[in-house]
Amino acid sequence: MSGWAPLEAHLEGLRAQHRERRLRDWTPAPAPGHVEVEGRTLLDLASNDYLGLGRKEWTLDTAADLLRSNFPTQEADVVLAALTRFGAGASRLVTGNDPIYGVLERQLAGLKGREAALVLNSGYAANTGVIPALVGKGDAVFSDALNHASIIDGITLSRAERHVYRHRDLTHLDQLLQACSAPRKLIVTDALFSMDGTLAPLAELVALKRRYGAWLMIDEAHTGGVYGGGGAGLAHAQGVSGDVDVLMGTLGKAYGSVGAYIAGDTVLIRYLLNTARPFIFSTGLPPANVAVSLLNVLTAQGMDAARRELQANAANFRARLLAAGHGLAGSESQVVPLVVGEDGAALDLAASLQAEGFGAIAIRPPSVPAGTARIRFALSAAHTWSDLERCLGAVVDGRRAPLPA
């Protein structure tokens, strides 16, 4: 007897509901925006590599070319040296603070128009570290119903009261804030909701946080590099970047690397590096990855034309699906969910799209509410319109009736 019977029973339960997940290899293919899966080349419609930078191959020479035109020699040399170092060796507060972190942090602070920035190991580490550092027992957090799991886990860890407001419902949030007498209040929201493709009403959230003396934290995981001039993000695009108390973003999506950052006032950054436990108690990111993040942030700053094309392609893609009668969960961005309903039906649609060369995946509970399983199309600047047109053909051309929303 292995003693694992309860785990086997759990897995059996997941399998019966089409919810057991297994790993599959997705290998980058030579063509931009494509992957190889089980020996076949597919258009990659599932990754978060919104600018195609995850596939960029840096050499010391190509990196030096970019750096020499953007940095003084000394800083460029710091980045080039980091590109061939693969381990920080310790927490940044011990001996792990390679000078490359500071170069990236200054770049991000400048891009966001804020005093300072702090790089953390992942978006998950940032949200589960920063929220408990800012609020605790007796305080209150106000969280959009569709916020990412890492935010939800951060709130749980903080032990603050959790007030969940209906998705983007400012009246509901206002009522909850009004009824709350906690000394510290934190409003936290995704900028782009990763499973619905909707955007947070940032200006209105800034007004509410002012009215009630709350802090506002925004997670720009899916908007950093994608929205705003230079890819500075949604807060920047909506003109409120300076009014957000805690601007969080990730480096593993449009920036094609790994890690996350907080940008804000110097005092906030000094406080977080003394209090955010995932920052204090974890080995720093590999310097090589931090250097690649810097190179990709710099590259992304020059990609305004690609960003405009991505948004135009996404608008056309959504319009065509809506015209064909599909439900898109209110998406208004490059993340386009095609809502199918039952898990099995979403899996079948993903399998048939994959059979036709489209690497789309089904998203099921617990990532989305039961009965709203969906195909999550993540569009990228690496896709051409003709790539997307072929995909629309496979979904819309009459071989498939519109799916219930």
What positions carry a catalytic annotation?
194, 222, 253
The overall longest dimension of the chain from CA atoms, in Å, is 65
Nearer to ligand PMP, 127 or 333 (CB): 127
Smallest separation, CB 248 to ligand PMP (Å): 8
Burial (0-12, 13-18, 19+ Cβ within 10 Å), 331: buried
Q: 216 has which bridge partners? A: 187
Cβ 97 vs Cβ 284: under 8 Å = yes
Mark 106-124 as b/e (b = at least 16 C-beta within 10 Å): ebbbebbebebbbbbbbbb
Tokens of 127: 């949200």
Nearer to ligand PMP, 150 or 333 (CB): 150
Nearer to ligand PMP, 94 or 149 (CB): 149
Smallest separation, CB 254 to ligand PMP (Å): 12
Which residues, other chains included, contact 235 with Cβ-Cβ below 8 Å and sequence gap of 6+? 112, 191, 202, 218, 220, 228, 241, 243, 244, 247
> 389 — phi, psi (to 5°)?
-60, -40
Residue nearest to ligand PMP (CB): 123
Distance between first and last Cα of the chain: 46
- Number of neighbouring beta carbons within 10 Å of residue 96: 17
Nearer to ligand PMP, 30 or 366 (CB): 366
Smallest separation, CB 195 to ligand PMP (Å): 9
Q: Length of the chain, please?
A: 405
Nearer to ligand PMP, 75 or 252 (CB): 252
Nearer to ligand PMP, 67 or 141 (CB): 141
Task: Collapse the DSSP code of 119 into the 3-class scheme (helix H, G, I; strand E, B; otherwise coil) and give the result.
Answer: strand
> 368 — phi, psi (to 5°)?
-135, 160
Tokens of 393: 């053909």
Smallest separation, CB 293 to ligand PMP (Å): 11
Burial (0-12, 13-18, 19+ Cβ within 10 Å), 102: middle
Q: Which of 302, 388, 386, 325 is nearest to 353 (CA)?
A: 388
Smallest separation, CB 128 to ligand PMP (Å): 9
Residues that bind ligand PMP (CB under 6 A): 122-124, 127, 148, 150, 190, 194, 219, 221-222, 250, 252, 260
Q: Could you tell me the CA-to-CA distances from 49 to 56, 145, 314, 361 in Å, in that order?
A: 11, 25, 15, 15
Please report the DSSP string for 131-167 in residue order.
Answer: HHHH--TT-EEEEETT--HHHHHHHHHHT-EEEEEPT
CA distance 32 to 297: 19
Cα 199–Cα 202–Cα 207 angle in degrees, nearest 5: 150
Nearer to ligand PMP, 47 or 238 (CB): 47
Smallest separation, CB 226 to ligand PMP (Å): 13
Nearer to ligand PMP, 219 or 387 (CB): 219
Tokens of 251: 């480096």
